[in-house]
């Protein structure tokens, strides 16, 4: 089955070339094998809506590989990355297949998905990849993982403001956070600038990306870790997404606060 699929891997091979990545036959076979396992497990575990190999070559594999455009060469050769909310392994696993010298950690909250990730790493015999089951909010306080990575990745997990809190704590000083986003990112980014600053990050670049075979444009948002993240972050599981740092308080709460202030003002006058 895997051998049959590699013969139709033109989209992947030529698309990777357009991203500056040359895949060997052995690597292409690994992608096809990975996909066969993904499609097989997807009957039991909800890993992806796209199981068709032709469509997945662009939507999953090339889209994941596009992250390489934001990485300096030495990071592609031997960098340590962590992929937050990896799901079926995106974008971390395609990156590891294309750049075997990298070391990877895949973080995923859902146990069934981590079972798949462990299975596929074993099947593909991938060295230097570890799978961690759990929430990023909790794992980021683990001394082995905190501020330990050259590259922190996330695709389709949350808004940038929330993602900043789920990713920046893992980045070492001088390390990068690279987030996969749609190209109309301006408003989302604007809402996130306060959080990025608070968490010790800075905006490095927004890189427009065209994936061969995909009509809509994407963007990679690259953050740089410039200062340590204050130890109180990330907050408890669920809080970063529910109340992102720097988000304006809910209107009714703000109104109540204003009313209180006015009453106090009157009293002090």
Residues near ligand SAH (CB under 6 A) are 85-88, 90, 107-110, 113, 135-137, 155-157, 166
Q: What is the largest CA-CA distance in the chain?
A: 82
- Please, what is the minimum distance in Å from the beta carbon of residue 123 to ligand SAH? 19
d(C-alpha 213, C-alpha 211), whole Å = 6
Pair of tokens at residue 222: 């690259």
- Which residues have a Cβ under 8 Å from the Cβ of 7 and sit 6 or more positions away? none
User: Which residue number, 141 or 261, has a Cβ lying nearer to ligand SAH?
Assistant: 141
Question: Which residue is associated with the tokens 């109309």?
Answer: 184
User: Which residue number, 157 or 211, has a Cβ lying nearer to ligand SAH?
Assistant: 157
Pair of tokens at residue 156: 């389709």
- Please, what is the minimum distance in Å from the beta carbon of residue 4 to ligand SAH? 25
Pair of tokens at residue 263: 């009453």
Question: Which residue is associated with the tokens 């994407």?
Answer: 218
- Please, what is the minimum distance in Å from the beta carbon of residue 59 to ligand SAH? 9
Helix (H) or strand (E) holding 240: helix 239-242
- Please, what is the minimum distance in Å from the beta carbon of residue 104 to ligand SAH? 13
User: Which residue number, 97 or 136, has a Cβ lying nearer to ligand SAH?
Assistant: 136
15 CB-contact burial (10 Å; exposed 0-12 / middle 13-18 / buried 19+): buried
- Please, what is the minimum distance in Å from the beta carbon of residue 236 to ligand SAH? 11
- Please, what is the minimum distance in Å from the beta carbon of residue 89 to ligand SAH? 8
- Which residues have a Cβ under 8 Å from the Cβ of 118 and sit 6 or more positions away? 131
d(C-alpha 39, C-alpha 229), whole Å = 39
User: Which residue number, 156 or 263, has a Cβ lying nearer to ligand SAH?
Assistant: 156
User: Which residue number, 102 or 260, has a Cβ lying nearer to ligand SAH?
Assistant: 102
User: Which residue number, 119 or 256, has a Cβ lying nearer to ligand SAH?
Assistant: 119
């Amino acid at each position: 089955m895997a051998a049959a699929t590699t013969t139709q891997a033109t989209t992947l091979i030529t698309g990777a070339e357009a991203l500056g990545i040359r895949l060997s036959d052995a690597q292409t076979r690994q992608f096809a094998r990975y996909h066969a396992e993904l499609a097989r497990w997807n009957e039991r575990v909800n890993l992806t809506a796209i199981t068709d190999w032709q469509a997945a070559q662009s939507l999953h594999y090339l889209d994941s590989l596009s992250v390489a455009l934001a990485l300096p060469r030495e990071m592609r050769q031997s960098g340590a990355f962590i992929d937050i909310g990896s799901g079926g392994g995106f974008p971390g696993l395609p990156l590891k297949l294309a750049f075997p010298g990298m070391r990877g950690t895949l973080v995923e909250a859902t146990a069934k998905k981590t079972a798949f990730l462990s299975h596929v790493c074993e099947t593909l015999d991938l060295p230097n990849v570890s799978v961690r089951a759990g929430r990023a909010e909790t794992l980021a306080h683990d001394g082995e993982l905190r501020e330990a990575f050259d590259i922190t990745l996330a695709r389709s997990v949350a808004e940038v403001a929330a993602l900043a809190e789920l990713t920046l704590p893992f980045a070492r000083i001088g390390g990068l956070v690279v987030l996969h986003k749609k190209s109309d990112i301006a408003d989302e980014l604007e809402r996130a600038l306060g959080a990025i600053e608070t968490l010790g990050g800075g905006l490095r670049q927004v890189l427009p990306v065209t994936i061969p075979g995909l009509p809509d444009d994407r963007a990679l948002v690259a953050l740089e870790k410039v200062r340590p993240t204050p130890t109180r972050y990330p907050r408890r599981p669920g809080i970063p997404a529910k109340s992102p740092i720097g988000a304006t308080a809910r209107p009714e709460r703000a109104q109540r606060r204003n009313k209180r202030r006015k009453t106090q003002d009157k009293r002090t006058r």
